[in-house]
Structure formats: structure tokens, C-alpha cells
Amino acid sequence: MKLSDMADKRSRRLLKSVARSAATELEQLRSIPGTPKELDFFYDVLEAAFVRNAPTPMLGARSEKKLFVGVYCMVIPEELIYAAGAIPVRLCAGCFESSQIGEDRVPRDGCPLVKSSMGLSMQKGLKAFDLCDVVIIPTTCDAKRKLGEELSAFKEVWMIETPHIKDADSSRRIWMEQMYALKAKLEALKHNGNHGKRVNARRMAAAIQSTARAQAEMRRLLAHRATQTPMVWGRQATAVVNAYAFCHVTRWTEALARLNDRLTAMTDDDQPVHHDDRPRIYIAGSPSIFPNLKIPTLVEEMGGIVVADESCAGDRYLYDPVGSTEKNLNDQMLGVASRYLAPCVCPSFTPNDDRVTLIQRMITDFAVDGVLYHVLKGCVVYDFEVSRVENALRDNQIPLLRVETDYNPEDVEQLRTRIEAFIEMLKSKRSRAKKAASNG
């Protein structure tokens, strides 16, 4: 058999097993009792991307003459991509099977997100990845920086130099230079007869508005989850945001508006997802990305409820709005660029005290009982910050459980035992507090 035939066979095998894992995860999500039908849209997006491997109706078929731009991390301004007439596709991956294949080019001790992204990009055949005419990778952490070099063997890669000290004047200058360079490249992008469009103030205003609408709906979803008796499970909400990666912003926003309306109706009818006294959990640390939802799933299977997370592929993805609503393109560029740098609390930045402040605010706003700190093996930057977060939470008397894992399902039972013990401890803490309150 020729080498190319062997590679094709391996790709087909890999994509089949990715499809199987994704289908199993979706089956579990769909079988949660009381799932509102408005969640189907998001599950369908993920199914189209990973199971059916058909360019999702949301992205449009390749023949529709659109440009697709793959992005990694949450610091690449999607407004700029939309304003240049292209569609961003977030490619940070959560597939166990491709993380194994990714080890051909990423060290074994590298983080599974990067291994998985590498593994999927090395294959021909997963359309959501193949669609992209170019991929943009920021130099956020070491893993992403080196991913860019490796990926360039398979795709055109544009690296974006991301400053690590946010509030230095030189960082702001470098970032703005990067943004203008990106704008020029997007405008000049050509593929299969499609051309990037000139970014002007009108197109930019429309793109800013579309993203702002998505963020407004995202905040409505968060408000639902902040209530005492949420109408949606944390793992369902994670899937909703994960679907954003493979969906046009307008379609996703419309679907989330429908879901939010439904959740409001469920609130009015007093139909929460649970009636018991579940500890409210905040997941901090490395992102959970479909189909690897094992951490939020275990928390909820073991008697907790995930009310919020700080994941860059979850609640933090669409949290910070663009400050500027200016009509002038330069001011819009400044507003958009700032939105992706100044409030971002990825652990790749230093100093990163804002992150602790954000977590403490979320703990209060979401009445959190405990924090599960998720470290993806090899993600040094998140692991570095765990003790700082733990110390800050001690002042708030909020317990923290650090769990280190990767995409391999083999450690599920071991994690289950630790997470169950953590939830039981939170339950006892709650009932002691209740007793103390009732005793005066």
C-alpha cells in the first residue's frame, strides 16, 4: 500500500472514532430529562461539525463563495474577520482520538488541546477544519506558539504576536500594529475566486453590533444560571458556547435568544432543572471543549451544578463587550483591539491579578459553594496560578479542588471519586451553615 493511501486510511479511521465519541456525548446531552427543544440547534451544529462531517448549514457550503478563517484562542478579533467578509471558525479542539495522533508532531507532555488541534489539522477530511483558507494563531502560550510552526506544514498560518504584559505602552502599540497588519491581510485574502472585502466603518459597525448582540444573549444565559434554581445545566450551557465555534454569529444569536426566551418561560412556570440542594460549582482553569465535557458532566452526575466557568471556550468567550461605538474606523479598530487585550485574563498574561478579581466577582454573583480548578496536563500557565487563586478563595471561605486530567476517558472513575468527595464535603458545609443559621 502506498504511503498516501495509508495516511488516508488512518485519517478515515480517526474521523470515524471522533464521530463516535461526539455522537456518544451528544446522545448523553440529548437524553438529559427536561431538555428544552431549543437546545437542539446547538447540538445539531456540533453534530454537523463532528458526526455528520457536513459543512454545517450555519457556515454555508463551500460553493457559497465565502472565505473561512480558522482562529485559535479567544484573542483574535472576530469583528475584524466578519468586517472583511470572512467567517471565523474556532479550531481549539477537544477530541481525545486526535490528541493521540497529534503526538506525531507535539511532544507527549504538551497540552491535549494543542495535540488535539494538531491531530485534526493533520487529517484531510474533517470539513470544519478543511474549510478554512487560513488559520490565525496568537502567541499566547508556548504551546500555541509552537503549534503555529507545526501547522504551517498543512495550512497557511498567520501568527499574531500577542503581548504578555497587557498594560505596557509598548504592548498596546505592538497589538495595534498587529491588528492593522491583520486587517490588511484579511482584505487581501483570496481563495477559489473569493476575495476579502475592504474593512470600512460601516462594515465594522455591523460586525461590532452582531457580536454585541451575541454577548447580550450570552449575558441573559448567564443571568438564568445565576438564579437560585437554574433552568439549564452547566454542561448544556458549555455545549451552547462550544457550538459558537462552528456557527455564524447571527444564526447562533437567534438560536440563543430562542433558548433564553424558553428558559424565561420555564422560570415563570417554576420548572428548574433540579429541586434538590445541589452545591453550586464554578469551574476555573483550562477549557472544556466538545466532545471532552467530562469535567462538567462529572460535577453534575455527582450531585453538583455548574453555574458558571471561566473557560476561554465557555463563559469568558463572549463576556467582554467592545467599549467603543464610534463611527470612525480608527476608533473602532482601537475599541475592538482593546476588547481582546485589556480585559482578557488568560494565564498567559502577567501580571494577571485581574483574573483573581474576576473569579471572586463570579463567586459572589453566582453564589458559588466551591471551585473546581481544571488543569489540562501540560498546561503550565493555568497550573502556575492555582495557588494564587486558592489563597484568594480562602479569604472568601470557598473550597477549591484541583483536578489534573487530559482528554483520555480512562481516568473518569478516579476523577469521579474525588469530585464526589468534594461535592459531599460542600453539602455537609452547607447543612452545617443552615443549622447554625436556624439555631440563631
List residues binding ligand SF4 (CB under 6 A).
Answer: 73-74, 92, 111, 113-114, 140-141, 143-144, 286-287, 312, 346, 348, 376, 379, 381-382
Q: Which of 282, 271, 314 is nearest to 426 (CA)?
A: 282
Written as nine digits, the cell of 291 is 466532545
Min separation Cβ 256 and ligand SF4, Å: 21
Min separation Cβ 111 and ligand SF4, Å: 3
Q: Which residues contact 114 (CB under 8 A, 6 or more apart)?
A: 102, 106, 143, 144, 146, 147
Q: Which is nearer to ligand SF4, 144 or 225 (CB)?
A: 144
Q: Which is nearer to ligand SF4, 279 or 285 (CB)?
A: 285
Q: Is 94 helix (H, G, I), strand (E, B) or coil?
A: coil
Pairing of strands 194-195, 305-309: unpaired
Q: Which is nearer to ligand SF4, 72 or 82 (CB)?
A: 72
Rounded Cα distance, 242 and 368, in Å = 23
Q: Which is nearer to ligand SF4, 105 or 144 (CB)?
A: 144
How far CA 204 is from CA of 176, 184, 214, 272, in Å, comes to: 16, 14, 16, 40
Min separation Cβ 35 and ligand SF4, Å: 28
Written as nine digits, the cell of 362 is 463570579
Q: Which is nearer to ligand SF4, 74 or 426 (CB)?
A: 74
Q: Which is nearer to ligand SF4, 69 or 305 (CB)?
A: 69
DSSP 248: -
Rounded Cα distance, 61 and 204, in Å = 24
Count of CB atoms situated within 10 Å of the CB of 133: 18
Q: Which is nearer to ligand SF4, 22 or 376 (CB)?
A: 376
Q: Which of 114, 68, 37 is nearest to 289 (CA)?
A: 114
Q: Which is nearer to ligand SF4, 102 or 370 (CB)?
A: 102
Rounded Cα distance, 346 and 75, in Å = 9
How far CA 264 is from CA of 35, 221, 244, 259, 313, in Å, comes to: 14, 10, 21, 9, 24
Min separation Cβ 76 and ligand SF4, Å: 9
Q: Which is nearer to ligand SF4, 196 or 285 (CB)?
A: 285
Written as nine digits, the cell of 170 is 509598548
Min separation Cβ 336 and ligand SF4, Å: 17
Rounded Cα distance, 80 and 285, in Å = 28
Q: Which is nearer to ligand SF4, 85 or 378 (CB)?
A: 378
Min separation Cβ 164 and ligand SF4, Å: 10
Q: Is 139 helix (H, G, I), strand (E, B) or coil?
A: coil
Rounded Cα distance, 416 and 372, in Å = 13
Min separation Cβ 131 and ligand SF4, Å: 21
Min separation Cβ 387 and ligand SF4, Å: 17
Min separation Cβ 276 and ligand SF4, Å: 33
Written as nine digits, the cell of 440 is 440563631
Q: Which is nearer to ligand SF4, 164 or 258 (CB)?
A: 164
How far CA 156 is from CA of 69, 86, 162, 184, in Å, comes to: 10, 16, 19, 16
Min separation Cβ 321 and ligand SF4, Å: 18
H helical segments located in 89-133: 96-102, 112-121, 127-130
Min separation Cβ 166 and ligand SF4, Å: 13
Q: Is 110 helix (H, G, I), strand (E, B) or coil?
A: coil
